[in-house]
């Protein structure tokens, strides 16, 4: 079709001065080429990760080329390939292919653009191809990584990383972030962390892990009850609730620099959430009677009172621009989800279906709210479009599901579920509700995940 059009265009160009009809045809053909022909010249189309009907794009990840042929290069190259494959499979929009189907081996034939026979990859249905090479010298590693669009025979991403052998995982995840940005326009989840609560000897402590459940680390040792971890926008601070001093207080900590503060007003101090882009946080405090929501400084000083109603107001979450909060309130008699503009004070009720809607979480694009609905003793997660007010149920018939938290790119939600033998565990799913799976294997009970931005 493209060849026929180009021939016509050439013919029309030769005859353009002969008749007005040909001029009109020429204009039409140029318009057609502009509208449709550019598809073949542009970069790889962005993948819409918010599309609930999104099909996973097949990607082939080849073995790594060991440039010096050393055994340690072969071993670490396979390790890097495995980390890369697992990370890409973790996303909700990519699916790595079985190497058994591969028709060629770039680790032998070459990993660069001019050395790839793209027909070998389009022929097996691979829309994307990742090649890698490794050079190891005196314990230092250099990784050469490339992402190709097989159908357009283009290099989309090419990166070289250097570091120690212990940094291979980090280097691979940096490359995965580049892949995500190239395909979706967002940096993805690969350098994020998840904080959560886990039981230790009958007590509850705060833990963290990487986005994929690896590198689990215990952060608190209060030997008490710790709840509601919340990451600051820069990932350097954690706020959480602890009963270490006998009542619920909010601990604000920078674990790397060993500094922080405690919010310990009279009564309950709960539900911390950090303001995007600033080291301020909201929290529910009860020193004046019912729990109300306040804006606090990094040291816990009150900046302003945000809510004032006769009903309990808890579980605040900031909008992505920091100008509004979504929260749970009993001001109408039952727990429901509301939005409040911090500056103007305007309040809007969001949920009307069901008598118990709690635990709201604002999506990174600002368009949706994930929340928990309790009905007939069943606890499930819903998302609600803010503009239309239309709720969509994401979990059902799989135990109790609660504590939703969005990934930084908005493609996934992590949550707590009791679907495995009634024991609460941390799970993840795509934002559409698909691909629900357990995040990590850990003794005890895990609840209340929060995803770093």
Looking up residue 140, the CATH number of its domain turns out to be 3.40.50.10070
49 is a domain residue: no
Q: Distance from first CA to last CA of the chain, Å, rounded?
A: 46
Q: Is 309 or 21 the better-scoring residue by pLDDT?
A: 309
Q: For residue 18, what pLDDT is reported?
A: 38
180 is a domain residue: yes
286 is a domain residue: yes
Please, are residues 391 and 384 in contact by the beta-carbon 8 Å criterion? yes
Q: What is the pLDDT of residues 389-448, one digit of tens each?
A: 999 999 999 999 999 999 999 999 999 999 999 999 999 999 999 999 999 999 999 999
Q: For residue 71, what pLDDT is reported?
A: 94
d(CA 62, CA 112): 13
Please, are residues 315 and 358 in contact by the beta-carbon 8 Å criterion? yes
Same domain, 79 and 101: yes
29 is a domain residue: no
Same domain, 286 and 402: yes
| Domain that includes residue 299, residue range | 193-451
161 is a domain residue: yes
Q: For residue 195, what pLDDT is reported?
A: 98
Q: Is 327 or 8 the better-scoring residue by pLDDT?
A: 327
Q: For residue 397, what pLDDT is reported?
A: 93
* Average pLDDT, integer, range 111-134: 96
* Average pLDDT, integer, range 286-291: 94
Q: For residue 44, what pLDDT is reported?
A: 53
Bridge partners of 337, per DSSP, are 328
Same domain, 298 and 365: yes
* Average pLDDT, integer, range 129-157: 96
Looking up residue 307, the CATH number of its domain turns out to be 2.120.10.30
* Average pLDDT, integer, range 259-282: 97
Same domain, 317 and 178: no
Q: What is the pLDDT of residues 350-359, one digit of tens each?
A: 999 999 999 9
Q: H or E stretch including 20?
A: helix 20-36
Q: For residue 175, what pLDDT is reported?
A: 98
**Strands annotated E in 138-237:** 140-149, 154-164, 193-200, 203-210, 217-218, 226-231
* Average pLDDT, integer, range 295-308: 97
Task: Say yes or no to pLDDT of 89 above 80.
Answer: yes
d(CA 325, CA 193): 23
* Average pLDDT, integer, range 89-99: 95
Q: Where among 184, 207, 229 does a domain terminate?
A: 184
Same domain, 80 and 225: no
Task: Say yes or no to pLDDT of 449 above 60.
Answer: yes
Q: For residue 288, what pLDDT is reported?
A: 92
Q: Please tell me the total number of residues recorded for the chain in this structure.
A: 453
Task: Report the mean per-residue pLDDT for the chain.
Answer: 90
5 is a domain residue: no
Q: H or E stretch including 96?
A: strand 94-96
* Average pLDDT, integer, range 248-257: 97
Q: What is the pLDDT of residues 3-61, one digit of tens each?
A: 333 333 333 333 334 334 334 433 333 333 333 333 333 455 668 777 767 789 999 99
Q: Where among 159, 184, 209 does a domain terminate?
A: 184
Q: For residue 51, what pLDDT is reported?
A: 72
Same domain, 171 and 216: no
Q: What angle do CA 226, 232, 234 make, to 5 degrees?
A: 140
Same domain, 133 and 211: no
375 is a domain residue: yes
Q: What is the pLDDT of residues 170-215, one digit of tens each?
A: 999 999 999 999 999 999 999 999 999 999 999 999 999 999 999 9
How many domains, the chain?
2
* Average pLDDT, integer, range 103-107: 96
Same domain, 180 and 201: no
As given in the structure block, the two tokens for residue 11 are: 């013919």
Point out the least confidently predicted range of 38-52, 110-124, 127-141, 291-305: 38-52
Same domain, 150 and 289: no
Point out the least confidently predicted range of 4-18, 123-137, 223-237, 263-277: 4-18
Q: Where among 184, 201, 230 does a domain terminate?
A: 184
Give the HSE-up count for residue 169: Cα atoms under 13 Å, Cβ half-sphere: 9
Same domain, 263 and 286: yes
Same domain, 173 and 232: no
Q: For residue 282, what pLDDT is reported?
A: 98
d(CA 403, CA 195): 12
Same domain, 307 and 247: yes
CA distances from 292 to 19, 259, 311, 316 (A): 77, 27, 9, 10
403 is a domain residue: yes
Share of the chain above pLDDT 70, in %: 89
Task: Say yes or no to pLDDT of 151 above 80.
Answer: yes
């Amino acid at each position: 079709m493209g060849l026929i059009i180009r021939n016509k265009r050439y013919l029309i160009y030769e005859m353009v001065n002969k008749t007005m009809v040909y001029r009109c045809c020429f204009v039409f053909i140029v318009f057609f080429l502009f509208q449709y022909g550019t598809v073949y010249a542009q970069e790889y189309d962005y993948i819409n990760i918010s599309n609930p009907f999104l099909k996973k794009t097949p990607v082939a990840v080849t073995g790594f080329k060991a440039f010096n042929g050393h055994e340690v290069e072969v071993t670490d190259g396979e390790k890097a390939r495995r980390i890369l494959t697992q990370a890409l499979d973790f996303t909700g929009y990519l699916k790595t292919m079985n190497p058994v189907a591969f028709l060629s081996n770039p680790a032998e034939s070459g990993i660069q653009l001019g050395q790839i026979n793209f027909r070998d990859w389009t022929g097996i249905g691979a829309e994307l191809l990742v090649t890698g090479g490794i050079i190891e010298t005196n314990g230092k590693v250099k990784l050469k990584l490339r992402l190709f669009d097989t159908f357009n025979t283009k290099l989309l991403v090419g990166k070289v990383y250097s570091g120690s052998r212990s940094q291979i995982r980090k280097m691979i995840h940096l490359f995965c972030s580049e892949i995500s940005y190239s395909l979706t326009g967002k940096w993805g989840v690969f350098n994020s962390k998840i904080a959560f609560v886990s039981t230790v000897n009958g007590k509850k402590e705060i833990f963290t892990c990487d986005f994929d459940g690896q590198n689990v680390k215990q952060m608190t040792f209060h030997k008490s009850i710790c709840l509601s971890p919340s990451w600051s926008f820069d990932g350097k601070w954690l706020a959480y609730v602890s009963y270490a001093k006998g009542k619920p207080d909010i601990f604000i900590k920078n674990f790397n620099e060993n500094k922080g503060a405690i919010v310990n007003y009279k009564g309950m101090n709960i539900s911390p959430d950090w303001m995007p882009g600033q080291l301020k946080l909201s929290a529910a405090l009860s020193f004046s009677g019912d729990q109300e929501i306040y804006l606090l400084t990094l040291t816990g000083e009150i900046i302003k009172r945000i809510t004032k109603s006769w009903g309990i107001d808890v579980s605040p979450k900031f909008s992505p621009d920091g100008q509004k909060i979504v929260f749970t309130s009993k001001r109408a008699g039952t727990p429901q989800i509301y939005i409040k503009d911090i500056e103007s004070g305007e309040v809007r009720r969001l949920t009307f279906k069901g008598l118990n809607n709690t635990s709201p979480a604002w999506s990174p694009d600002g368009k949706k709210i994930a929340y928990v609905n309790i009905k007939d003793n069943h606890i499930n997660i819903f998302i609600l479009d803010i503009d239309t007010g239309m709720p969509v149920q994401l979990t059902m018939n799989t135990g109790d599901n609660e504590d939703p938290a969005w990934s930084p790119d908005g493609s996934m939600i992590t949550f707590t579920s009791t679907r495995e033998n009634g024991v609460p565990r941390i799970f993840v799913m795509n934002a559409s509700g698909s691909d629900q799976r357990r995040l990590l294997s850990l003794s005890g009970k895990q609840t209340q995940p929060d995803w770093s931005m």
